[in-house]
Copies of this chain bind each other. A is one copy, B any other.
Amino acid sequence: MNDSPVRVGLLGCGTVGSSLISLLQRQNTLIGARTGLDLVVTAVAVRDPGRARPAELADAVVTTDAASIVSDPDIDVIVEVMGGIEPARELLLAALRSGKPVVTANKALLAAHGAELFAAADAAGVDLLFEAAVAGGIPFIRPLRESLRGEPIRRVMGIMNGTTNYILTRMTEAGAQYGEALAEAQSLGYAEADPTADVEGLDAAAKISIVASLAFGVDLAGSMVDTEGISSITADDIAFATRNGFVIKLLAVAERFDTDHGDELSAAVHPVLVPIAHPLAAVRESFNAVFVEGDAVGELMFYGRGAGGDPTASAVLGDLIDAAVNLRSGAHGSIGGLGTPQLRPSEQASSAHYLSLVAVDRPGVLATIASVLGENGVSIASMAQSAADSELGGSLAEDEARLDFITHRVGRLELDATLAALRSLDAVRRVGSVIRVLVEEESES
């Protein structure tokens, strides 16, 4: 084994970069004992050269010129934790083309330009590793890329955004309204001042697109993911779910369907009523988890911290060690070529659903509504009616009742027709939440 240090160029030195530097400092002896490697950060690109840096960087070049690090022949490996699309994309392409392995935590970049970067890595025969880009500290990408390479994966479902999981947990456990829980998440630093990317599901959509691309071997961009957030979920929806044995979670879901004309894929982010006994229901606060269903392996779940400086740095460090080991041995990983996904037409989607209606509280209304459901082929698994003076009736007028239904599996077209028919009824004041329900056999036959 070559005894010279592996020289690391770090692009970005915020929370994750600083955590990485101190973790590396602390663990370098152990890493040396296990791998024979001496990893040294020799150059760091920063935005603001005046800001205080970790003491461990004393001997490193600190520069605002990231391109100079990428082109420096004395740098062996590039670690990118700066975020954003550009200049990160140009910098990483340049690094890969010059034969430098790259470790990145940049989910937005991979969701938008993953295929281009993977192709550049394969063309150069170097590693492009990105464990930290999905589910933070959870070692999930490596098992998916390597351990499950031969597994017929049917579905991957994840709680991939800690902010929304924190908000939903507070709504469930403290009975908070959405706005209150969001404000609490913001005051704790779990949510940004502009929380759109989290609460509308965009962050989770970028992550599931990366996961779907790996799981199914296709180039599935973040923009192809059907995305729905949690901002319209009410405390009453949560209360109904709790009473009926469910927890509401924002799930990112990628699924494969065998069809006569080949595999069809779907990828979506949406709120789902998850049965309380399902392992994903136990994922609380800002934790993340990814649930995998395969034909041979059955059900798997990977759970941990989806964000934060130290957990993310842990994932980056694992990748960095791997890249350095491979660099010294001349090996490199590859995810293989990515095909073009055949997306499942959205009108073929089907699921059990939770529906909430506000109707006029008079005799015969339930019969009218139930017959609309029946005529549209929607079969009811359970229902509850609440008057204005009941626990779930807080937002109702005197003459209104709330009707909550859980349906059996219903197709998208039938559901849309049903909702239109319900809205056209005089007796229906408004249709509230319409949320998917996770059922044991979610896959269609």
The interface of chain A, by Cβ under 8 A from chain B, is 19, 23-24, 26-27, 30-31, 33-35, 131, 137-139, 142-143, 146-152, 217, 277, 279, 281-284, 287, 289, 294-305, 308, 310-311, 313-315, 317-322, 326, 329-331, 335-337
**Closest chain B residue to A276, Cβ basis:** B282
| Contact B314 A297, beta carbon cutoff 8 Å | yes
Residues on the B chain within 8 Å of A282, using CB: 277, 279, 281-282
Interface CB pairs A-B, < 8 A, 28: A23-B150, A33-B336, A34-B336, A35-B336, A131-B147, A137-B297, A138-B300, A142-B142, A142-B146, A146-B318, A146-B321, A147-B315, A148-B314, A149-B318, A149-B321, A150-B314, A150-B317, A150-B318, A151-B318, A277-B284, A279-B283, A282-B282, A296-B317, A297-B305, A297-B315, A300-B304, A301-B301, A302-B302
Residues on the B chain within 8 Å of A315, using CB: 147, 297
Query: Which of B283, B284, B294 makes the CB contact (< 8 A) with A314?
Result: B294
Residues on the B chain within 8 Å of A142, using CB: 142-143, 146-147
Tell me which of A277, A284, A299 has the highest count of chain B C-beta atoms within 10 A of its own C-beta. Answer: A299
When chains A and B are docked, how far (Å) is the Cα of A259 from the Cα of B92?
Answer: 43
A326-B318 contact in complex given A34-B217, A304-B298, A310-B296, C-beta closer than 8 Å: no
| Contact B336 A310, beta carbon cutoff 8 Å | no
Residues on the B chain within 8 Å of A24, using CB: 150
